[in-house]
Amino acid sequence: MLEYFVRRVLSVVPILFIVVSVVFFLMRMIPGGPAGALLGDYASAAAIAKLEHKLGLDRPLWEQYTCFLSQLIHGNLGISIFNGKPVGEQLLRALPFTAGLCVGTVVIGLLLGVPIGIITAVRRNSFWDYIGRVMSLTGLSIPVFYLGILIIIGFSIELGLFPMVGGGSLTNMFDFMQHLFLPALTLGIVMSAFISRSVRSSLLEVLSTEYVTTARAKGLSERLVLLKHALRNALIPTVAFLAIYITLLLGGTVVIEVVFSRPGWGRILVSAMKQRDYPVLQSGLMAFSAIVVFVNLAVDLLFAYIDPRIRYK
């Protein structure tokens, strides 16, 4: 297990280097630049050139790249071009809001998706199976921003149960959770649709295997067969799916943070993209990419724990 862990951790290093390099060069390929965005559409070419020289954007690309890597190695993410504040501090300040949204989404998605998937698999072709499949199909079809607007109208405007916008106070947990619930519910409903379909298909396949039939022939109760023998193996594809879904979830947080006006990474990235704020944009994208890489690493290690055969392949 230790050898497998070390090999998987070491494989992350070149991946992160490639991600960092791709993000840096892609930023420089975006039409326009920070100087033009900062000075406005009617700025003269001389003014833009002067500001680019001041910001160091007129230096050779390789020189900018080596300077960027040097700063990154020392833990310096740079200074925002527009507000002059350290990028690391801005991302760190917004991290609890985005992290809370991701965790809340996963919790709601699992709490809704896994039971629905189990029920629809165990009661295949029954009334509950059809209801669960229709619900999952609806969750797969509806755009997340549209669902967010519907939830705001229903829970905030009509019922007045939860706040519409904002992220709440980090020092007041109740206020933070109140502002978190609706955005997490929006993404959690969509996630539960994917989870329920994954659990259903995996569980149906496992329930038809020989070892499950043997367990039933031994006289074990259906609940014991389901929980002890079938569900654990059925959840392996779902765990793999979670790693893939994290990528979609991070994209969804950007949209939902804009819809609910949450002060998270999503809103920071959208603002930085409009302003061509290279340091903020490339640091935010690198942070998102690093999360995806480490989540996949964690899932691979979890695989090795659930199924010991994996570490020997």
Per-chain mean pLDDT for the chain: 77
> For residue range 115-141, what is the model confidence (pLDDT) as tens digits?
888 888 777 778 887 887 888 878 778
> For residue range 179-234, what is the model confidence (pLDDT) as tens digits?
889 999 988 888 888 888 888 888 777 777 766 667 667 666 666 667 666 777 77
Residue 194: name the closest of 246, 142, 139 by CA: 139
What does the block give as tokens for 222? 């259906």
280-295: average pLDDT = 78
271 Cβ contact partners less than 8 Å away, ≥ 6 residues apart: 277, 280
Residue 194: name the closest of 106, 113, 296 by CA: 113
Domain boundaries, the chain: 87-312
> For residue range 15-73, what is the model confidence (pLDDT) as tens digits?
778 877 887 787 777 766 666 666 666 667 777 777 777 767 777 777 778 887 887 77
**Ramachandran class of 56: left when φ > 0, alpha when ψ lies in -120 to 50, beta otherwise:** left
Query: Does the structure show a pLDDT above 80 at 91?
Result: yes
Grade residue 146 by pLDDT with cuts at 50, 70 and 90.
Answer: confident
Predicted confidence at residue 160, as pLDDT, reads 81
Alpha helices in 152-230 (DSSP H): 173-207, 210-217, 222-224
Place of tokens 């943070």: 257
Beta carbons of 204 and 176 less than 8 angstroms apart: no
Q: How far apart are CA 292 and CA 287, in angstroms?
A: 9
77-104: average pLDDT = 82
**What pTM does this model have?**
0.74
> For residue range 98-107, what is the model confidence (pLDDT) as tens digits?
888 888 888 8
Query: Does the structure show a pLDDT above 50 at 252?
Result: yes
Query: Does the structure show a pLDDT above 60 at 94?
Result: yes
* CA 213 and chain centroid, separation: 38
Query: Does the structure show a pLDDT above 60 at 86?
Result: yes
- In angstroms and rounded to an integer, the radius of gyration of the C-alpha atoms of the chain is 24
Q: CATH 1.10.3720.10: does it fit domain 87-312? A: yes
Give burial (CB, 10 Å; 0-12/13-18/19+) of 234. buried
Predicted confidence at residue 312, as pLDDT, reads 47
Beta carbons of 50 and 289 less than 8 angstroms apart: no
What does the block give as tokens for 269? 């990235």
